[in-house]
Amino acid sequence: MSEKTLRIGLVGCGFMGRTHSNGYKRVGDFFPTLSYRPVLQAVCSRSRNNVQAFSQQWGYESFETDWKTLVNRNDIDAVDICTPNDTHEQIAVAAAKAGKMVLCEKPLSRTLEEGNRMVDAVKKAGVANTVWYNYRRLPAVSLAKQLVDSGKLGKIFHYRANFLQDWTINADLPQGGTGLWRMDVDAAGSGVTGDLLAHCIDTAMWLNGAIKDVSAVTETFVKQRLHQLTGKVQPVGIDDACIFHCHFENGSLGLFESTRYARGHKALYTFEINGEHASIRWDLHDLNRLEYFDHRDESIVRGWRSIHVTDGDQPYMDKWWVPGLGIGYEHSFVHQVADFLKSLEDGSACHPTFEDALQTQKVCEAVLSSASSKSWKDTGVKGKQY
């Protein structure tokens, strides 16, 4: 069935460069009815040795060491941005101007201004675009969306989410440069707010609608670190931890926490939603399960049930193995590629688009502004979220 090719130009060959490349390679095998087929046309990174090795390992046709050359090549249809946050705007705007579709890693940008310019660029160019908030596409999270939308939970009262890690506790860990750009505010834009809470906010607004206003606290536990690029000990500008509470537009209350100082936790992303009739909860460490409690069950059997989301009638699972067999983190990226290709076929948007991701950016910005001003902040986000 695969007739049309989509020639991918991928920028950045680190963690996300690998997950996306795997997504492009796997999608045709498991979603054979899609009419578009991704072709690994070119990959770009600054180090010639690294990009050449990556290109050979993953089977790219060619490589570049300057993203400007890549985005202007005539044999590229879509530019995929897998580089640190300080490069997203420049690459996305140039790619859109060159008439390329743009797939961009999250967070959309470091700031709202950058994000606005990115949204303007893709709108003006009229090019397909999406942002890789991939957790939406884990089957158990997609099932949560179906359950909320079906009204099974009834009126929602509470939304609670955590994203906890522990990898920056060591005060001798430097900031900046290869592997540690997340510690450098100039490269990352913010700390856990843009890196981790952005995921929680994207999922939350997708499941439970707009976040109206926020009140936040942030903390930077280690105030100074050696900067790998300058060789100097410099102030740390990122938030190491962030806690905020909020009102959703639907009247429910939200509570969010993220830190890189929760000893023992590597990537504990959890959320729980409590409604009038039912509650659901999910945990990334057990990603194939969705827990569900329904108060309408007969009282003698009422309790939390653990749904193993692996049946063919559950989201995406008809494409994989047989009921009872789970899938992994990497499959969320295969699903995002599949949904992007399907959107091209249908002429529809692949959510979250740049515009959708800009709404998450607004909440992140309001969170940081609330923490620094010690006051409630309106987010400016309104209406149905996609």
Ligand X SMILES: NC(=O)c1ccc[n+]([C@@H]2O[C@H](COP(=O)([O-])OP(=O)(O)OC[C@H]3O[C@@H](n4cnc5c(N)ncnc54)[C@H](O)[C@@H]3O)[C@@H](O)[C@H]2O)c1
The answer to whether 14 contacts ligand X (rule: CB under 6 A) is yes
List the one residue from 6, 8, 10, 11 that touches ligand X (CB under 6 A).
Answer: 11
List the one residue from 16, 143, 153, 317 that touches ligand X (CB under 6 A).
Answer: 16
The answer to whether 206 contacts ligand X (rule: CB under 6 A) is no
Question: In a 3-state reduction of DSSP, which class is residue 307?
Answer: strand
Q: How far apart are CA 310 and CA 322, in angstroms?
A: 8
Note the maximum CA span of the chain. 66
Question: According to CB under 6 A, which residues from 101 to 160 bind ligand X?
Answer: 105-106, 132, 134
Residue 161 or 278: the one with the smaller Cβ distance to ligand X is 161
To ligand X, the closest distance from the beta carbon of 85 in angstroms equals 5
List the one residue from 15, 167, 304, 386 that touches ligand X (CB under 6 A).
Answer: 15
Q: Which stretch binds ligand X (CB under 6 A): 8-16, 320-328, 334-342, 343-351?
A: 8-16
Spell out, one character per residue from 324 to 353, where the chain touches ligand X: x when CB under 6 A holds, - when not: ------------------------------
Residue 36 or 333: the one with the smaller Cβ distance to ligand X is 333
Residue 44 or 101: the one with the smaller Cβ distance to ligand X is 44
Q: Which residues contact 131 (CB under 8 A, 6 or more apart)?
A: 103, 104, 105, 106, 108, 352, 353, 354, 356, 357
Per the CB < 8 A criterion, the answer to whether 261 and 242 are in contact is: no
> Encoding tokens for residue 372?
């620094």
**Position of minimal CB gap to ligand X:** 14
The answer to whether 87 contacts ligand X (rule: CB under 6 A) is yes
To ligand X, the closest distance from the beta carbon of 55 in angstroms equals 12
Q: How far apart are CA 359 and CA 8, in angstroms?
A: 27
Residue among 128, 92, 125 at smallest CA distance from 108: 92
List the one residue from 10, 82, 153, 210 that touches ligand X (CB under 6 A).
Answer: 82
The answer to whether 46 contacts ligand X (rule: CB under 6 A) is yes
Q: How far apart are CA 35 and CA 257, in angstroms?
A: 42
Question: In which element (H, E) is residue 180 found?
Answer: none
- Residue 105 DSSP code: P
Q: Using alpha carbons only, give the angle 56, 10, 97 rounded to the nearest 5 degrees.
A: 145
Residue 134 or 252: the one with the smaller Cβ distance to ligand X is 134
Q: How far apart are CA 386 and CA 229, in angstroms?
A: 39
State the residues that interact with ligand X by CB under 6 A: 11-17, 44-46, 67, 82-85, 87, 105-106, 132, 134, 179, 195
